Amino acid sequence: MNSVKRVFAVAKATGRASAVSRPDVSVIIVGWNTRDILMDCLRSVYSETREVEFEVIYIDNASRDDSVATARREFPSVTIVENKENLGFVAGCNQGIARAEGRYALLLNSDTIILEDAISKVLRFADRHPLGAAFGCRVLNPNLSTQLSCFMVPSLLNMLLSASYLNHIFPRSRFFGRQMMTWWDYSDEREVETVSGCFILVRRVAIEAIGMMDPVYYFYGDDLDWCYRFRKAGWKVMYTPSASIIHFGGQSSKYMRRTFRLQLFGTTLLFLRLNKNRLAFIAGSILNSLFFALRCPYWLARSVLCRRERRASLQEAGTCAIGSLLSIFDWKRMLMNRDVVEARLR
Domain ranges of the chain: 3-149+186-247, 253-345
H or E stretch at 81? strand 79-83
From 7-11, 331-335, 340-344, the region with the lowest mean pLDDT: 7-11
What confidence score (pLDDT) does residue 251 get? 55
CA-CA distance, 313 to 303, in Å (whole number)? 5
Q: Are 7 and 209 within 8 A, CB to CB?
A: yes
Task: Give the pLDDT band (50/70/90) at residue 11.
Answer: very low
Q: Tens of pLDDT along 148-171?
A: 999 999 999 999 999 999 999 999
pLDDT tens column, 36-81: 999 999 999 999 998 899 999 999 999 998 999 999 999 999 999 9
Question: What is the widest separation between alpha-carbon atoms in the chain?
Answer: 67
Q: State the pTM of this model.
A: 0.90
What is the structure's pLDDT at 169? Answer: 94
Residue 67 and residue 60 in contact, taking contact as beta carbons nearer than 8 Å: yes
- Whether the predicted pLDDT of 257 surpasses 90: no
3-state DSSP assignment of residue 24: coil
pLDDT band at 219 (very low <50, low <70, confident <90, very high): confident
Query: Mean pLDDT across the stretch 125-142?
Result: 97
236 forms beta bridges with 132
Asked whether the predicted pLDDT for residue 236 surpasses 50, the reply is yes
Contact 43, 112 (CB under 8 A): no
pLDDT at 250: 64
pLDDT of residue 15: 41
CATH topology of domain 3-149+186-247: Spore Coat Polysaccharide Biosynthesis Protein SpsA; Chain A (3.90.550)
Look at residue 21 in the predicted model and tell me its pLDDT.
66
Instruction: Provide the mean pLDDT of the chain.
Output: 92
Q: Output the pLDDT for position 22.
A: 84
pLDDT band at 346 (very low <50, low <70, confident <90, very high): confident
More confident residue, 283 or 218: 283
Strands 79-83 and 54-61, sheet pairing: parallel
Segment 187-214 mean pLDDT: 97
